Amino acid sequence: MTGQTIGNALAVRDNGPGALVAQHRADIELVMPSHLQKRVGAWVRTTQGLLRRDEKLLKAAQNDPGQFMAVLLDAARLGLEPGTEQYYLVPRWNTKKRRTEVTGVRGYQGEIELMYRAGAVSSVIVEVVRQRDEFSYRPGRDDRPGHEIDWDLSLEERGELRLAYAYAVMKDGATSKVVVLNHGHIAKARAKSDSADRDWSPWNTDEEAMWLKTAAHRLAKWVPTSAEYVREQLRAQADVDDERSMPSAPMPAGPLPQPYDSGADDDAIEGEFVDDEGEVLS
């Protein structure tokens, strides 16, 4: 048997990772968003195909099947496609256990997908700026960045990565906070990844995607990314409808009560401290 044939056999045998995915199909379907449950069969087959094609991924899944299934259930819960730019499956070295295991890394397309799914945005823009691109953005004055690309140039001719930016256009036409990241921001995000120095890390295999992901990840702080947002909106609207349907109580006779004056400044604006460092990116 060839190495690939052996790998295929290990992936689908009764106690192999591929068979384990099939055995837990019901669990995967249970945690999936309802609109994806009809595709659970294709989702399972796609994951099994990844194991057949990637010997390193198969070995990592065999080393810790429980960790592998936990990663797949996380992807299913988010409704993201494993093994794609929505959700990477990465064979990662575990120093304590002295072996590789499968780690899930949400990609930039996954971040964007979750923003769209929340239902609050009409479009999400996440781009990188290269050395020969023209880019301008003045916070407080410009609504959105200006980015011009000479499409006659090849990717190499456009030059090295210089900036990454992201923003969303909400359904009411408003523009979200604009996130602009330079080399320093990206370097800090990369430094927080304990796998960035590994050959298999997305930081080394797809650097542009990781720049995009970092920008999308920062934008997620300012844009709803959960279906819970939709449910909250529906509940709020239901509460308003209920109040409108209730009969109004008659106003009491006599002078109206005067509003309470606490002496506080009514014009105080709520502020928010923003962690510029962001969360750990893998």
- Kindly report, residue by residue over 222-273, the tens digit of the pLDDT: 988 765 455 555 555 555 555 555 554 444 444 433 332 222 333 222 222 2
Q: Domain ranges for the chain, please list them.
A: 3-106, 109-219
Rg (CA), the chain: 25
Mean pLDDT of the chain: 79
Q: Report whether pLDDT(185) > 50.
A: yes
Rounded average pLDDT over 16-24: 91
Considering only residues 35 and 209, tell me which one the structure prediction assigns the higher pLDDT: 209
> Residue 121: which of 167, 165, 171, 166 has the closest Cα?
171
Whether residue 135 is predicted with pLDDT greater than 90 in this model: the reply is yes
Those residues with Cβ within 8 angstroms of residue 154's Cβ, 6 or more apart along the chain or in another chain: none
Instruction: Pull the structure tokens for residue 234.
Output: 């529906």
- Burial of 179-197, coded b for 16+ CB within 10 Å and e otherwise, reads bbbeeebbeebbeebebbe
